[in-house]
């Protein structure tokens, strides 16, 4: 069974190849992203394996069907880059709904600690043998109020971590977890009360630009925003203006709404054409990591095994429980 694997990185090959070979699946690795120009590389394949920045629109879906591809296997939890409505009845889609909530939640806390204790600035400073502490004053997390938007597996792990630091936790979720002991509040109250806000929700019509120029005015002055979920939860231009106005104290971003042309690539020798991203990165109170939160050995192993198992289960005409358009 052949599977076309798009947007390949070295760590993908390391994690996927041994398990796929063991299960009798031949992966054809392509560095290029899946889009209208590259879809023909899937010719002769039973399935296509795609990632968050591949473009799976109507044109790509039609061509995959013409090529006889039976399954689109997303090796991630999110699928907002897939035209789900158009795909329905044409090609089946599976995903990896959970791989390691600890990886993402721990990265969110790592970003927060780095930001509030100025670790990134201290690291650069000491590389020049500058051991001054001027400008590195942070604040305690203990006793601060953290608002968690989205209380799925990742959100709840992040809540547990925050409680370990002695933080006061409040949360918002359209579908609150029953008997969880979580203190749920309305979103506007969470925005008003929180010293730190961390987003762990999917990107939907309801959550698109949940942080906008309108909602930023509701935030507590000096708030720290953390986004390890989906970039378009935050209006990047509004975020930039909020930081420039000194209303937002800091931003920790592992995702960015226009990340598709930049993240996962080495652009160190290029000029970044996105002025907003370049400006955000230049600010001392903004930390940007390039969709790195998932990247642990444990998560990569889980992603590989679940993806391969999804493909095998589908090939047998069985349900894996990870279908998203059936």
Q: Which of 291, 266, 232, 248 is nearest to 108 (CA)?
A: 291
Residues 141 and 118: their CA atoms lie apart, in Å, by 13
**For the chain, how many structural domains are there in total?**
2
Say whether both 219 and 274 belong to one domain: yes
Same domain for 255 and 266, yes or no, is: yes
Q: Please give the pLDDT value at position 70.
A: 96
Residues 24 and 111 placed together within one structural domain of the fold: no
Domain containing 143 — which CATH number?
A: 3.40.50.720
The C-alpha atoms of residue 257 and residue 63 are separated, in whole angstroms, by 27
Q: Is residue 106 part of a domain?
A: yes
- Which residues form the catalytic set? 230, 259, 291
pLDDT for 261 beyond 90: no
Q: In the prediction, which pLDDT does 260 show?
A: 83
If we measure between CA atoms, which residue out of 119, 19, 125, 148 comes closest to residue 75?
Answer: 19
Mean pLDDT of 56-83: 95
The pLDDT of residue 133 is above 90:
yes
Question: Are both 68 and 176 inside the same structural domain?
Answer: no
Do 107 and 225 share a domain, yes or no? yes
**Residue 86 token pair:** 């158009």
Q: What is the pLDDT of residue 326?
A: 56
Res 46 pLDDT > 80: yes
* Same domain membership, residue 254 and residue 111: yes
Least confident of 71-80, 163-172, 223-232: 71-80
Position 182 in a domain: yes
Residue 325 lies in a domain: no
pLDDT confidence of residue 184: 98
The Cα–Cα gap between 78 and 227 comes to 14
Any domain includes 238: yes
Within a domain: residue 324? no
Confidence of residue 98 (pLDDT cuts 50, 70, 90): confident
With both helix axes pointing from N to C terminus, report the angle between 101-116 and 153-164 in degrees, rounded to the nearest 10: 40
Give percent of the chain above pLDDT 70.
99
Question: In which domain, by residue range, is 108 found?
Answer: 101-288
133 located within any domain: yes
Same domain, 219 and 277: yes
Residues 165 and 139 sit within 8 Å (Cβ to Cβ)? no
């Amino acid at each position: 069974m052949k599977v076309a694997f798009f947007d390949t990185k070295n760590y993908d090959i390391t994690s996927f190849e041994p398990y796929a070979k063991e299960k009798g699946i031949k992966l054809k690795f392509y560095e290029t992203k899946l889009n209208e120009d590259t879809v023909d590389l899937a010719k002769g394949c039973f399935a296509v394996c795609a990632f968050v920045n591949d473009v799976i629109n109507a044109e790509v879906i039609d061509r995959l069907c013409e090529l006889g591809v039976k399954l689109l296997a997303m090796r991630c939890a999110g699928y907002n880059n897939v035209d789900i409505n158009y795909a329905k009845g044409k090609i089946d889609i599976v995903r990896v709904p959970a791989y390691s909530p600890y990886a993402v939640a721990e990265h969110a806390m790592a970003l927060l600690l780095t930001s509030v204790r100025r670790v990134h600035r201290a690291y650069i400073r000491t590389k020049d043998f500058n051991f001054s502490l001027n400008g590195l004053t942070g604040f305690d997390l203990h006793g601060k109020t953290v608002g968690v938007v989205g209380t799925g597996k990742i959100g709840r792990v992040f809540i547990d971590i925050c409680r370990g630091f002695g933080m006061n936790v409040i949360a918002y979720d359209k579908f609150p977890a029953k008997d969880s002991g979580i203190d749920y509040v309305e979103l506007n109250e969470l925005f008003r009360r929180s010293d730190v806000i961390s987003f762990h929700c999917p990107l939907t019509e309801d959550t698109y630009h949940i942080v906008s120029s309108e909602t930023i005015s509701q935030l507590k002055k000096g708030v720290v925003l953390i986004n390890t979920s989906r970039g378009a939860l935050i209006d990047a231009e509004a975020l930039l203006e909020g930081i420039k106005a000194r209303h937002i104290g800091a931003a920790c971003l592992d995702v960015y709404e226009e990340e598709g042309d930049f993240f996962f690539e080495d652009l160190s020798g290029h000029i970044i054409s996105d002025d907003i991203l370049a400006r955000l990165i230049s600010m001392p109170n903004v930390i940007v990591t390039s969709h790195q939160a998932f990247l642990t050995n444990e998560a990569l192993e889980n992603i590989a095994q679940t993806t391969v198992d999804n493909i095998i289960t589908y090939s047998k005409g069985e349900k894996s429980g990870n279908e998203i358009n059936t």
